């Protein structure tokens, strides 16, 4: 994967008038207020408007953006995109929120858009150029939110197929809106598998919007239809977990006429405190995205705790102790040996994160583990005969941190007999287990662990 791991999320709708851009802007504000670094990108080049929601915090003069990046590639004059990331000094975001406009909206804008020919650009390796742009986003931001063109277009395909890790597909309770959005979303998931990029399968979040509270029977029928038609999409959210499709009910956005006037932001209003309001639902969507679509049940059953768990690693999170010397990763078949090793490390004064001991009742498993994994100065990875992809999060976090994002971290592979793991870990000096006991392995690990963490 290019970049350092930030998540790229496209907001897409087949039809207009679904509240897509408002949802993106609200989600961006929530994520930034919770402590994450967020970039909003207006890729709706033919009908840009994301900047209008943020107009009070933007300079009045036109500024460059996506169109200028495309033109620079076409003209063979690549440019630095970072000056295009405009800061949005919205209260409580503390410099963490930025916007990249569609482009310089002057009298030449429409003519310049029409002059772009996408097929020749891709023939000239524009796809590789997009990967470089995407990688820069990931290097600087935790989340990148893209506002996509509606309908079917070359621009829309860029946003739905090549760029995103997650596709938020929004639709109103109408057959055209719903079926069109689902056709594009499912097609994007299939098409992305053929794109020559190193990326996990595209994950799709279906969001029903404009739900009229006064039409109870009709909306209930639509909710049932969405759960039935979209349940299979949720299987990609979390490996080896059956996601309850009722979580989609937590994302149903009500129809509130007030938000149809002007470009108001629900996230900045007191209305967001009311359950079932537009701002309330957008906050739920933001929390689900911040959790990486993990533990969707938590959103349904204990929403407030679920939202509190999405603070960034640098923030103090009540009830969670992140003062660990080492994180111990293992596959389920090796759990007995992992517990022995955790005990041996603890006897030697190592504060080890072992999930069976360290995740407390009431904690959200994925969020707690992710924080410990990203904050521990040492990561011990047990690699046995089982499929290492069950430890993919730990392995990828390790490779990301040693790849330059956190050069102080030490990754310590422990290769059990006949182990099979990613080749990248073979480049790191580890411990190869033959007849060694957990105590013997701990003795070898402790000097390096304590040197790095204290």
pLDDT for 209-228, tens place per residue?
988 877 778 889 999 999 99
Start-end of H helices in 295-437 = 296-301, 303-308, 335-347, 355-358, 365-375, 392-400, 423-426
Same-domain pairing of 287 and 399: no
Q: Of 22-31, 105-114, 156-165, 330-339, which has the strongest mean pLDDT?
A: 22-31
More confident of the two residues 78 and 280: 280
On whether both 258 and 334 belong to a single domain, the answer is no
Q: Is residue 430 in a domain? A: yes
Task: Give burial (CB, 10 Å; 0-12/13-18/19+) of 104.
Answer: middle
Instruction: Please count the structural domains in the chain.
Output: 2
Q: Which residues pair with 12 in a beta bridge?
A: 169
- Shared-domain flag, residues 222 and 89: yes
User: Which of 13, 30, 14 lies closest to 273 in space, CA to CA?
Assistant: 30
pLDDT at residue 171, rounded to an integer: 95
Q: Of the ranges 60-69, 190-199, 358-367, which one carries the lowest mean pLDDT score?
A: 358-367
Residue 314: inside a domain, yes or no?
no
Q: Given a cut of 70, is residue 4 above it in pLDDT?
A: no
| 344 and 264 within one domain | no
Same domain membership, residue 52 and residue 23: yes
Last residue of a domain, one of 308, 334, 354: 308
Which of 179-188, 243-252, 371-380, 383-392 is least confident? Answer: 383-392
Residues 232 and 360 in one domain: no
The fraction of the chain above a pLDDT of 90, given in percent, is: 41
Instruction: State pLDDT tens for residues 110-159.
Output: 999 999 998 899 889 898 999 999 999 999 999 999 999 776 665 657 88
Sign of CA dihedral 29, 150, 47, 111: positive
The predicted structure's pLDDT at residue 2:
33
Per-residue pLDDT, 265: 92
What is the predicted pLDDT for the residue at 238?
Answer: 83
Q: DSSP E strands: which ranges in 101-200?
A: 143-147, 166-171
Cα distances from 147 to residues 20, 116, 235, in angstroms, run 8, 19, 25
Q: How much is the pLDDT for 200?
A: 82
Tell whether 319 is covered by a domain: no
173 and 232, same structural domain? yes
Name the residue with higher pLDDT: 368 or 211.
211
Query: Taking 80 as the threshold, does the pLDDT of residue 398 lie above it?
Result: no
Domain presence at residue 188: yes
Query: Residue 420: its pLDDT value, please?
Result: 63
The pLDDT-based confidence of 387 (bands split at 50, 70, 90) is low
Using the predicted structure, report yes or no on whether residue 445 has a pLDDT greater than 80: yes
Residue ending a domain, choose from 276, 308, 340? 308
Q: Which domain holds residue 108?
A: 7-308
Residue 349: its pLDDT value, please? 75
Query: According to the model, what pLDDT value does residue 1 have?
Result: 29
Same domain, 414 and 299: no
60 band by pLDDT with thresholds 50, 70 and 90 = confident
Residue 233 lies in a domain: yes
278 and 179, same domain (yes or no): yes
- Which domain-ending residue is among 281, 308, 335? 308
Identify any residues that bridge with 237 across adjacent strands, giving them in sequence order.
none
Q: What is the dihedral of CA 256, 258, 264, 267, to 10 degrees?
A: -40
CA dihedral 391, 393, 395, 400 (to 10 degrees): 180
Q: Which residue do the tokens 């111990």 mark? A: 328
Same domain, 130 and 249: yes
Averaged pLDDT for residues 2-6? 54
DSSP assignments along 66-135, one per residue: HHHHHHHHHTT-----GGGEEE---TTSTT-EEEE-SS--STTHHHHHHT--HHHHHHTTHHHHHHHHHH
> Between 422 and 435, whose confidence is greater?
435
More confident residue, 241 or 7: 7
**Which range (129-133, 136-140, 402-406, 449-453) has the least confidence?**
402-406
Asked, for residue 162, whether it belongs to a domain, the answer is yes
- Are residue 194 and residue 298 in the same domain, yes or no? yes
148-151-152-155 Cα dihedral, nearest 10 degrees: -20
CATH number at residue 380: 3.40.50.10140
Q: What is the mean pLDDT of residues 423-442?
A: 76
- For residues 232 and 348, membership in a common domain is answered with no
CATH code at position 106 = 3.40.50.300
Amino acid 295: pLDDT: 84
Q: What is the pLDDT of residues 321-357, one digit of tens each?
A: 446 788 898 888 888 888 899 888 887 878 888 888 8
pTM of the model: 0.70
pLDDT attached to residue 224: 94
Average pLDDT along the chain: 84
In a domain, 353, yes or no: yes
Contacts of 164 (CB under 8 A, 6+ apart): 8, 9, 10, 146, 202
270 part of a folded domain: yes
The reported pLDDT for the residue numbered 396 is 66
């Amino acid at each position: 994967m290019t970049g350092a791991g930030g998540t790229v999320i496209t907001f897409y709708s087949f039809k207009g008038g679904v509240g897509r851009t408002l949802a993106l802007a609200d989600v961006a504000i929530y994520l930034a207020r919770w402590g994450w670094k967020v970039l909003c990108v207006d890729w709706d080049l033919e009908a840009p408007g994301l900047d209008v929601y943020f107009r009070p915090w933007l300079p009045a003069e036109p500024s460059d953006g996506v169109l200028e990046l495309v033109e620079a590639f076409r003209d063979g004059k690549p440019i630095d995109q970072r000056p295009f990331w405009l800061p949005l000094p919205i209260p409580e975001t503390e410099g963490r929120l930025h916007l990249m406009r569609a482009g310089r909206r002057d009298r030449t804008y429409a003519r310049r858009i029409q002059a772009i020919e996408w097929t020749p650009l891709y023939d000239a390796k524009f796809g590789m150029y997009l990967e470089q742009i995407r990688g820069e986003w990931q290097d600087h931001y935790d989340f990148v939110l893209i506002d996509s063109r509606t309908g079917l277009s070359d621009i829309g395909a860029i946003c739905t197929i090549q760029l995103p890790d997650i596709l938020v597909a929004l639709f109103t309770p109408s057959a055209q809106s719903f079926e069109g959005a689902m056709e594009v979303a499912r097609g994007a998931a299939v098409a992305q598998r053929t794109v020559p990029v190193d990326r996990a399968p595209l994950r799709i979040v279906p969001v029903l919007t404009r739900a009229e509270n006064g039409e109870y029977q009709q909306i209930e029928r639509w909710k049932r239809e969405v759960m039935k038609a979209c349940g299979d999409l949720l299987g990609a959210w979390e490996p080896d977990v059956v996601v309850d499709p009722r979580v989609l009910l937590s994302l149903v956005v009500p129809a509130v006429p007030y938000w149809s006037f002007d470009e108001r932001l629900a996230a900045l209003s007191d209305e967001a405190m009311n359950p079932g309001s537009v701002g309330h639902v957008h906050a739920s969507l933001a929390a689900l995205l911040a959790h990486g679509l993990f533990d969707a049940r938590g959103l349904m059953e204990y929403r407030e705790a679920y939202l509190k768990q999405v603070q960034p690693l640098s923030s103090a999170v009540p009830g969670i102790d992140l003062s660990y010397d080492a994180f111990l990763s293992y596959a389920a078949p090796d759990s007995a040996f992992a517990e022995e090793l955790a005990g041996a490390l603890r006897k030697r004064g190592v504060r080890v994160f072992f999930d069976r001991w360290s995740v407390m009742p009431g904690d959200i498993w994925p969020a707690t583990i992710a924080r410990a994994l990203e904050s521990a100065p040492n990561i011990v990875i047990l690699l046995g005969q089982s499929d290492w992809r069950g430890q993919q999060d730990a392995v990828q976090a390790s490779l990301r941190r040693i790849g330059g994002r956190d050069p102080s971290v030490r990754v310590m592979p422990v290769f059990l007999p006949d182990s099979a793991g990613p080749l990248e870990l073979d480049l790191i000096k580890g411990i190869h287990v033959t007849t060694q006991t957990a105590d013997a392995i701990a003795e070898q690990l402790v000097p390096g662990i304590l040197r790095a963490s204290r």
